[in-house]
Structure 1
Amino acid sequence: MTRLILPICIISLLSGCQDANPAEREWKEQLYKNLAIVGARNWIVIAESSFPAYTGTGIRTMVSDKTSDEVLLDVLNMLEEEAHVVPRIMISSELRSVTEDYAPGIKRYRNNINKMLPGRQHFELMSRTINSLIEDAARQFNVLVIKTKTSLPYSNIYIELDSGYWNSESETVLRKSLEAKDAANRRAAQDRVLDVPLVPGATPAPQGNKENPPMPGAPASPADNLPELPRENRQPASPSGDKAPGVPPPPIRDPLGRKTAIARFS
């Protein structure tokens, strides 16, 4: 009896190591390969069955036979296992207002999603706002779309990826530190420039008479360099315009010491 039980146990253990559903194993392998490629600023959309197909070159689409909440659980588990990116989950705010009367199963779906949100970054935004974010991101970055078999309105789940080891908060702190250092360096450089003494240039030597410099703005002439005549030799002009009577010049001594008068001519 014991010999029969042992082989049966071994066979059951070996069969348990393999997935009972080959399609499930293939799906997880495909999902793992795609998630290994994406990184910070990439997006993952876990979409309902009627989600439109984007034509952008950065859009990669996968198809799953699971529901959106099941795919979300698989994606989160794989992302957290890799740990190189951190998911930020976005849910359409319209999902909260959809009633069971118009969308049977929506209440159960909401409850399943809400169980996975605590402890993870998540936001509620209007669907048109999220769609505009996806369209802008698709112009520059890759977007992975996983279409599921869920058929509920506003059930799309959007995941924006961020770096798992360097998030936006770390980047903000780094930028503020760099800006503070740059401002300090600019202030130090400005202080050094202002502290340098100015070297005065060579001042040209003044020309002409130092005692009677020319008036500002007056043109320079050769006469400015001539010696000034004695005041007693100057003859002021009369008001009538005629020459004022001259003052007899002093006598000139000849070499013999005699005084010689200078004749005046009228």
Structure 2
Amino acid sequence: MNKLVFIAMLALFGCQQTAIKTKGDTAGIDLNWKEQFNQKLPMLGHRNWILVVDKAFPEQNAPGMEYIYANEDLLPVLKQVLAQVNSSSHVKPIIYQDKELGFITENQAKGVKHFVQESKALFANQNVQTMLHDSVFRKLDTESKLFKVLVIKTNETIPYTSVFLQLDCGYWNGEKEKQLRDALSGQ
């Protein structure tokens, strides 16, 4: 087979495998979210975001946002995403949850108590920050203008369970950056 024909066929079939949903794309959704995420994670870096969100989380019109649909509950998806991010060498997560989640009772949303307990276990010793849900949208609006935001939408129907991971550099920290900036300012 001619090398050029082979390369053209490879490119054609390789392009057909892409199933990450981007703004305005309403084509069929590939249900193999894990494969999509594994392909996307190496491209994400410092200042990018990964959101693992509940079913009611809206598809936003911001140009920097990409969507993957995971046909699963939120906790198993979050567990997989955290495992992948935590085992990567290039990024580490800064974790945010909706502040409202801490005020929802079992009477208001069945399963919320179990969700909170299980998510705390998933986070283990990692620091989790909270912010009001509306603040998340304002922050994402600003961030998505410069940096990619990958949204993994799940089937979760407990309100305010979305988890927002802001990616930080995995091999460089704030102290090292401060030392570098101090050295540069002395020049």
**Structure 1-normalised TM-score?**
0.57
Q: 134, 145, 166: which one pairs with 1:160?
A: 166
How far is the alpha carbon of 1:168 from its aligned partner?
2.8
Tell me by how many angstroms 1:35 deviates. Answer: 1.3
Alignment of 1:67 onto 2:69: no
Shift of 1:178: 2.1
Once the two structures are overlaid, the 10-residue window that deviates more, 59-68 or 119-128, is 119-128
Is the Cα–Cα contact under 8 Å of residues 60 and 142 in structure 1 kept in the other structure? Answer: yes
Does 2:48 correspond to 1:42? yes
Which residue pairs with 1:97 in the alignment? 103
Which residue of structure 1 aligns with residue 35 of structure 2?
A: 29
Instruction: Report the Cα distance in structure 2 between the residues aligned to 1:169 and 1:45, rounded to whole angstroms.
Output: 27
SS in 2 for 1:116: helix
| Separation (CA, whole Å) in 2 of partners of 1:176 and 1:74 | 39
What is the 5 A alignment of 1:1-266? 26-179=32-185, 181-182=186-187
Deviations 1:176-196 (A, max 9, x none): 2322x13xxxxxxxxxxxxxx
Displacement of 1:76 after TM fit? 1.1
How many pairs align? 158
Counterpart Cα distance in 2 of 1:139 and 1:159: 17
Please tell me whether the aligned partners of residues 71 and 154 of structure 2 are also in contact (alpha carbons under 8 angstroms).
yes
Separation of aligned partners in 1, 2:122 and 2:181: 33
SS of residue paired to 2:92:
strand
CA distance in 1, matches of 2:132, 2:117: 19
SS of aligned partner of 1:178: helix
Q: Deviations over 1:16-68 (max 9, x none)?
A: xxxxxxx98x3321110121211110001111101111112211100011111
Q: Which has the higher strand share?
A: 2
Question: 1:161: how far off?
Answer: 0.1
C-alpha deviation, 1:121, in angstroms: 3.2
Identity rate, percent: 30
Q: CA deviation at 1:167?
A: 2.4
- The letter of the residue matching 2:114 is R
Structure 1: distance between partners of 2:53 and 2:79 = 14
Q: CA shift at 1:116, angstroms?
A: 1.7
Higher relative contact order (CA 8 A, sep 6+): 2
**Letter of the structure 1 residue corresponding to residue 87 of structure 2:** E
CA distance in 2, matches of 1:169, 1:91: 25
Q: For 2:68, what is the secondary structure of its paired residue? A: strand
Code of the aligned partner of 1:58: G
Q: Partner letter of residue 50 of structure 1? A: A
123-132 vs 56-65, which deviates more? Answer: 123-132
In the other structure, the counterpart of 2:7 is none
Aligned CA-pair RMSD: 1.6
CA drift at 1:163: 0.7
Do 2:33 and 2:68's aligned partners in 1 also have CA atoms closer than 8 Å? Answer: no
- Tell me, yes or no, if the aligned pair for 1:42 and 1:142 is still in contact at 8 Å: yes
Name structure 1 gaps, 5 residues minimum: 1-22, 183-266
